[in-house]
Structure 1
Amino acid sequence: MPFLPKTNIDQNLFLGQTADKGHYRFVDVLGSGGFGVVYRSRATDSKQDLAVKVVAQRSRSGKRAIQLRELDYHSQVCDHPNIVTFHRWFAESGFFFFVFDACLGGDLFTAITERHLYFYNDERARNAFSQILDAVGYCHSMGLAHRDLKPENFLLSADGNTVLLADFGLATMSSLSETFGVGSTFYMAPGMFAICVIRADVKLKQYSPKHSDIWALGVILMNMLTGRSPWRAAVHSEGCYVGFMHDPLYLRTMLPLSRPTTTLIGSILQLNPLLRLSIKDIKDEIMNIPTFFMSELEVSRASSHVQ
């Protein structure tokens, strides 16, 4: 399970209670984080299940500003079918309440690591990853980079067929950023850690958040197909990352990926961000790959890491 920082709200505080003059009844806890608790709530008039995030008003003004910016960004893109819908917010009894669509199929992380939904299932993986590409592509078309793309931030519908992007807390409208170290290290592009050396005479002192999103998409694709992360961080102390940088086919010594899939990932995870495939090109490639996985014969001949 991903680490969730503790909140100063008792998770059971609102269970069985109502808010907004009885309009929402809190049924159970969906999760918690540093800013509050997310409840599965039922609208008493429509009986619709919703997700309501509850945050104490006494949170520091800096945190409040971050939350409001997140909601502003989220509201600008939530009309897309693969982005969680944000409905409204209200204040009551010393708390803020933020109302979203409920995604009752859990998150993509659980679907990958516990349910193994995409392992050796080409069509399901193709369909889900295409939806992820659509969501991120739409954000980029609206001038927004997410900067925290990872399986934990994609939610599934109750039937598991629809994938929806959530959590815009690190999103930005900036085309270039000097804010290093944001996001989860597994999915961060090399330039997000510190100044990135492309070659001896080229050093990047800023990074493009949109191109960093594309890097994260490549890592997420590997997660979905294999249930594993190839490295803990894209840094030179990680042997697997160094091996991949020398030869993308190195991945096939660790993961049961077909050659076309490995070639595609190599085109996404380019050290030079300007050489990374566009989201449109990634989707075109995804649709044309016959299978993402090694055959049984290839697996039988592969290393023990693959088997």
Structure 2
Amino acid sequence: MTPSLHPTPATHLPLTINDSIVLQSMLGVGAYGSVYKATDSHTGQTYAVKCLSKTGLDSRQRAFQTHESTLHSLVSGHPNVATLHKIVEEDDCLYMVLDCGVEGDLFYTITERGGFVGNDVAIKSIFGQIASAVLHCHSKGVFHRDLKPENIIMFGQSVKLVDFGLATTEQVSSDFGCGSTFYLSPECQGGYVEMVKSYDSAANDVWSLGVILINLVFGRNPWKQACPRDETFSAYILNNDFLQTILPMSTELNEIIKSVFCLNPRKRIPLSDLAKRVQACKQFTTPEFSASFASSSNASAATATIGQSGVAGGTCFVSSAQREDKDQGDSGVDVRSRA
């Protein structure tokens, strides 16, 4: 969820919880909670603390909060999942004490720091780490359902997955619309050709990872929403080589993308196979684009060149404006350091 430009702190800062963890400044605010930068007064360790207010909640809503912390705890410990160090429960709030990154999220890296366009080695490294985190979650029976760059925090050359507010343990779910518009699979929206009663949670995560892969390679989204009213997605359904006509995509990457953006989730590539194929991909972009990128002064210039090939009303850049377009129902809260 986009941090508010004028967040209203739920508490007066600084505030000490658990005797030693001092909340110092607000990092972000979402639909269901706020995130603070905090320091352990005993060790000096910096944390991100997610605060979930219990005020005015009924028993079902409180159970939902506990569900998030339980699932995050279940998958914690993987090097590419933000560690949930402890849970502090008080009468009015539930506090989740997490790793705190100092370099912002993957969204910020893509949009404001030049991203990874033209750097196939870095793309493979970042995507491989994300895939490893999601594979770990799936092995624990946890399906994220809100995979997007904003929920992936940078730690140097490493990344860590955060925000399990929409996660589920249901392999087959009927909870439609979970996630952010750009990353939703068609079946998570109720179906494309015909209405569906449920969807495969793992296959839904794979779809979101396909959009993230496009983000990494081209610095933009393939479409605004995978639904009939989206012009670019409709063009893709009519011709599944369409993205290759508007993006400088190598034939090898095009085949990978088609295996991800498959309308039938039963035929969609499994995550383990996707991770292997991305690592084995010899080149993500066309030779012509790679040559032009090598001669350009920076990634922004190359990304601007990509944008010129878009179609009206279709593909859109991954840009700061994307945060304004997010559904107001998103539960995600950025866990980052803005020091």
So what's the TM-score if we normalise by structure 2?
0.81
| Counterpart in the other structure of 1:277 | 269
Instruction: Write the letter of the residue equivalent to 2:159.
Output: V
CA contact (8 A) 1:73 1:168 kept: yes
Deviation sequence 1:101-144 (CA, Å, 0-9, x none): 11222111111111122111111111000001001111111111
- Point out where structure 1 has 5 or more consecutive residues left out of the alignment: none
CA contact (8 A) 2:75 2:81 kept: yes
The equivalences for 1:286-297 within 5 A come to 286-296=278-288
Instruction: Write the letter of the residue equivalent to 2:256.
Output: L
Instruction: Write the letter of the residue equivalent to 2:272.
Output: K
**Cα distance change, pair 105–14 in 1 and its aligned pair in 2 (3 A):** farther
| Counterpart in the other structure of 1:263 | 255
The question of 1:175 aligning with 2:171 is answered yes
**Cα distance change, pair 38–274 in 1 and its aligned pair in 2 (3 A):** same
| Counterpart in the other structure of 1:225 | 217
The question of 1:192 aligning with 2:184 is answered no
The question of 1:305 aligning with 2:309 is answered yes
Instruction: Write the letter of the residue equivalent to 1:65.
Output: A
Q: Is the partner of 1:273 in helix, strand or coil?
A: coil
The question of 1:3 aligning with 2:2 is answered yes
CA contact (8 A) 1:197 1:204 kept: no
Taking the aligned partners of 1:52 and 1:303, their CA distance within structure 2 comes to: 38
Number of aligned positions between the proteins:
298
The equivalences for 1:48-197 within 5 A come to 48-61=45-58, 62-92=60-90, 94-157=92-155, 159=156, 161-197=157-193
Deviates more, 1:9-18 or 1:270-279: 9-18
So what's the TM-score if we normalise by structure 1?
0.88
Taking the aligned partners of 1:60 and 1:80, their CA distance within structure 2 comes to: 32
Taking the aligned partners of 1:93 and 1:213, their CA distance within structure 2 comes to: 35
Taking the aligned partners of 1:46 and 1:14, their CA distance within structure 2 comes to: 23
Taking the aligned partners of 2:119 and 2:89, their CA distance within structure 1 comes to: 45
TM-superposed deviation, 1:39: 1.1
CA contact (8 A) 1:89 1:98 kept: yes
Taking the aligned partners of 2:204 and 2:112, their CA distance within structure 1 comes to: 27
CA contact (8 A) 1:14 1:26 kept: no
Taking the aligned partners of 1:19 and 1:303, their CA distance within structure 2 comes to: 48
- Point out where structure 2 has 5 or more consecutive residues left out of the alignment: 293-304, 311-339
Taking the aligned partners of 2:175 and 2:10, their CA distance within structure 1 comes to: 36
Q: Is the partner of 2:172 in helix, strand or coil?
A: coil
User: CA RMSD, aligned part only?
Assistant: 2.6
**Cα distance change, pair 299–92 in 1 and its aligned pair in 2 (3 A):** same
Instruction: Write the letter of the residue equivalent to 1:132.
Output: I
| Greater length-normalized contact order (CA 8 Å, ≥ 6 residues apart) | 2
TM-superposed deviation, 1:223: 1.0
Deviates more, 1:53-62 or 1:73-82: 53-62
Report sequence identity in percent: 34
